[in-house]
A and B are shown apart, each in its own frame.
Chain A
Amino acid sequence: MTSADAAPKDDAELVALCRAGDTAAFDVLVERHRRSVYQLCYRFAGNHEDASDLAQDTFLRAYRALGTFKGNSAFGTWLYRVAVNVCLNRKAGKRLLTEPIDEREFTDRSADAADRLVQRKETAAVVRAAIARLPDKQRATMILRTYQELPHEEIASILGSSVGAVKANFFHALANLKKLLREGDR
């Protein structure tokens, strides 16, 4: 069996093929998970360039570490764990920058729809900047819970903490965000 066989394969089968040396199987996994991994990385990085680098690094590290994937969790969950570690480690060594909030030069300000779009983009950028200021665990919890829509148990598994700690981090992340967004309004 190879990844080129006609029938679509689940992640576990593709992982098995990768381990047997079929790098094309990993290409399929990349294609399947690249968007969610990129989005997760973007949530941490706050800009496209860094998100792209982090996502690429995530897949390369995942490939190297495939031997340790036991299949106890979904491949996607395991991949998120790799991505979170990559993002948090990179952040420690490099101050990531968020993209500029104002993108109005690309829009028609006179149109209501465009104004709403600009407003929405500005709000999104402000929220992303506020999230970037959260402590690591709170930020990771917030991102995995709100954007990746993972259950607390899965987040606990990814972050290596308890469900109680995940809930506490989520609570404090939201409370801190409220403060940060208020500061931004002043």
Chain B
Amino acid sequence: MTSHGQHLTESELVDLFDGTLAPVRRQHVESCAACAAQAADLAMSAQSVEQADVPEPPPFFWTQFSARVGEAVSNEAARPAIARFGWARASWFAAAAGIAVALLVVVVTLRNAPEDVSVAAPVVLSRTAGADVADALPDDPVDLESDEAWAVVRALAEDLDDEQMDDEGVSAGSGATERMTLQLTEAERIELARLLQEQLRLAGVSESAS
């Protein structure tokens, strides 16, 4: 069978509807009842769709809409620099947060592991001077609201949304990061903040983040 004789593909039917189908294929439609019927169906469906107008909103709507958007944008512009980086710069935030999440998982997992299970020292702690810093650090609860180191972690976490996390290949259940971070000791939080600040410096935005 020649291409002239073959039935139209879905793509060709759309091309026919658009008026961009090659003349040789259009000839086929003229001699093929099945393709002609499909083309007619397609056109009829498209025609019914075109009838569905969007109702015009109330006349005052546009002014209110622009005002609302303008207010939201002004608020956005007034936010600290760390909180309004664009996607390009925010992507590394997601990466940093990904690192933070990974570190937290390691720390929490190891801390919750049974004592008779031999495991390597957590990455977050192995980068500090002491051999087993976790045991040596105080475990007292601290006021998270006034914890400066923790503020860095919070600022990063607040700036992330699910889309960014997904785009960076990081996924966690809702509130999972918060739950994990609340299990850290003060020393671990400080170390986590230090590592994140190090990442911030490497990315060249430490001034904005402070």
Contact = CB atoms under 8 A, between A and B. Distances in A.
A59 B73 contact: yes
Given A63-B73, A167-B11, A177-B49, A27 B66 contact: yes
Contacts, number: 116
A23 B74 contact: yes
Binding site secondary structure of chain B: helix
Interface residues of B, number: 38
A118 B2 CA distance: 50
Binding site secondary structure of chain A: helix
B57 A172 contact: no
Given A64-B86, A67-B85, A127 B51 contact: yes
B14 A171 contact: yes
A87 interface: no
* Range class of the A interface residue count: 35 or more
Nearest to B12: A167
Contacts of B15: 167
B99 to A, nearest CB: 22
B13 interface: yes
B182 interface: no
B46 A146 contact: yes
Contacts of B163: 85, 89
Contact of A56 (B11, B69, B76): B69
Contacts of A34: 62, 65-66, 69
Contacts of A39: 54
9 contacts: A42-B54, A48-B57, A59-B69, A65-B87, A99-B55, A121-B55, A127-B52, A146-B49, A177-B45
Interface of A: 21, 23, 26-27, 30-31, 34-35, 38-39, 42-43, 48, 52, 55-56, 59-60, 63-68, 85, 89, 99, 120-121, 123-125, 127-128, 131, 142, 146-147, 152, 164, 167-168, 170-172, 174-175, 177-178, 181
